[in-house]
A = this chain, B = another copy of it.
Amino acid sequence: MITQQSGPRPADVADVRTTNLVVVLRFVRAHAPCSRADVAAATGLTKATVSSLVADLLDRRLLRETGVTENRIGRPATMLEVDGSPYAAIGMEINADYLTAVAMDVGGTRLLSWRRAFDGTAGPASGTAALAALARRVIARLRADGRGVLGVTVGVPGLVDAAGVVHLAPNLRWQDVDLRADLHHALGGAFDVLVDNDANLGVAAEYRYGPHAGTPDLVYLTGEVGIGAGIIAEGRLLRGSRGYSGEIGHVPVVPDGPPCGCGRRGCLEAVVGLGALIGGPPPTPEHLTSAVRDLVTRAGADDRHVLEALDLAGDRLGRGLSVLANLLNPETIVLGGYYVPLAPWLLPSARAALRSGVLAPDSGGTLLAASTLGHSAAALGGAARVIDLVDAGRIPLLDPA
């Protein structure tokens, strides 16, 4: 059980000691194993200050001594590394057909990864209650393992403002839901709760943990019942003026095409979203995963009807993405969600359509690839967001009890 330092938001951190704690923590993370003397030499802090800060971080169990000492000129130095194992960050995602939860320790080790079918279209009260219930189960598990929980970030497929209010999530049928406040309340007010768009969290996870990590101009496409893009430009998340960027799902692709959850027709997600890929009447959440598995099986068995449908879907997806590539010229676009198992059949025609739709030769260099993070991307990015709070100055305090 831990408590958190309350008070100012990360950007306002003015407390010199907190700032110095973060400086030391970051240095050790980047340079471990290293000694107190190394920290002092690199940071310009006095050795006495560093000793005091390190003692504090050892108490909080954010650092630990490796047990190894290094013999240098003078006294042997005890080496330090980041511990972080006593603390866990939780990332969750709600989508039209499932909930996910991921927990990571401060060192970035994944502690658990859960997914379950859920009818996300049953309204905000049901969705919030289900998220809170799942969060409580995760928290109980983490505590049983002796870990303190730092906070929870939830990804939502829709327009989320900076305060964590979901203004519109067509595929959940949510409008103006203050999810951050509701969930904070439902969890007893004990944790930081953050809410962001699922694609924004997905691209953050790809930027950090995916095979394209560190690509400065990176786009992540959620391949779910809805489709959204998370955009990183020159290493920074592009949010737009109100936080509503990335709505590629509502680019018109087929004039007078099938109706879309947003009320328009022929939008990208209406023609290549999961519902369109599966066809027929909207299946229940439980059936979506098996319907995709069935598609994969039939495509693998060269079912001509399925191969043609996926080829056409890839072409339309590529046409929609060419609009994004013409505007943003990213280095890589990563396809996530249900597109991952279907990628072998979607990618060829999608890449061809991208090449033909982008003005710059060779698609302007934009590569199209399938994610390796699967349905966990948004939740992983959410957990990472919580861990980032520590680096931003929200140093956790282990409760003495």
Contact = CB atoms under 8 A, between A and B. Distances in A.
Interface of A: 159, 167-168, 170, 216-217, 229, 231, 233-234, 236, 238-252, 255, 262, 264, 319, 323-324, 326-331, 356-361, 364-366
A99 to B, nearest CB: 23
Contacts of A241: 216-217, 329-331, 364-366
B326 A242 contact: no
A364 B329 contact: no
Contact of A217 (B167, B240, B330): B240
A251 B323 contact: yes
A366 B244 CA distance: 10
B327 A360 contact: no
Contacts of A242: 329, 360, 364-365
A159 B365 contact: no
B329 A240 contact: yes
Nearest to A356: B264
A1 B192 CA distance: 63
A259 B335 CA distance: 31
Contacts of A236: 234
A248 B323 CA distance: 8
Contact of A238 (B229, B328, B357, B365): B328
Contact of A326 (B238, B251, B330): B251
Contacts of A255: 255
Contacts of A216: 241
Contacts of A328: 238, 240, 245, 327
